[in-house]
Every structure is written in C-alpha cells, then in structure tokens.
Amino acid sequence: MNRDEAKSYIQQAGGTLSSSLSFKTHYIVVGETPGDKLKKAQKFGICQLSETEFIELLESAGVDVDVNSK
C-alpha cells in the first residue's frame, strides 16, 4: 500500500493523516525500515502498527481495503 492509498483509506474511516508526529497522533504505521520517526513515536507513547494491523484497524472501522492493489 502506498501513502496515497493509505491516506484515502484513513479519510474513509474519518481520520486525518499527518507527515509529522505530535502528542495528537494516535497511530503510526511502521514499515521495514522505520527511521527516526519510530523513536519519536515511542517517546510520545504512540501506538505502532504493522501494515497488517493497519489494514485490520481500517476494516474494523468499516473500510473496504483492497489488499491486492500492492
């Protein structure tokens, strides 16, 4: 899933996407090489999701995720 697809799914679920982390951030999707944002997320206590967990969360919110679009 690319960033544009993720943004669309988040918006369908009623959420917003941000390129920076803050104390208002609820989740961060962590890929294979997360980088410095992961450290900041851990510092803020932000829930970290794998792509699979992200998809499950979206589906639990009623969003139909096309997992074959990869």
Domain chopping of the chain, boundaries: 1-9+22-62
pLDDT tens for 7-56 read 999 999 999 988 889 888 999 999 888 888 899 999 999 999 999 999 99
Indicate if the pLDDT at residue 2 is higher than 90.
Answer: no
> Residue 24 — φ and ψ, nearest 5°?
-85, -10
pLDDT of res. 69: 61
Sign of CA dihedral 61, 55, 2, 32: positive
The string of DSSP letters for 35-64 reads THHHHHHHHHTPEEE-HHHHHHHHHHTT--
Pairing of β 27-29 and β 47-49? parallel
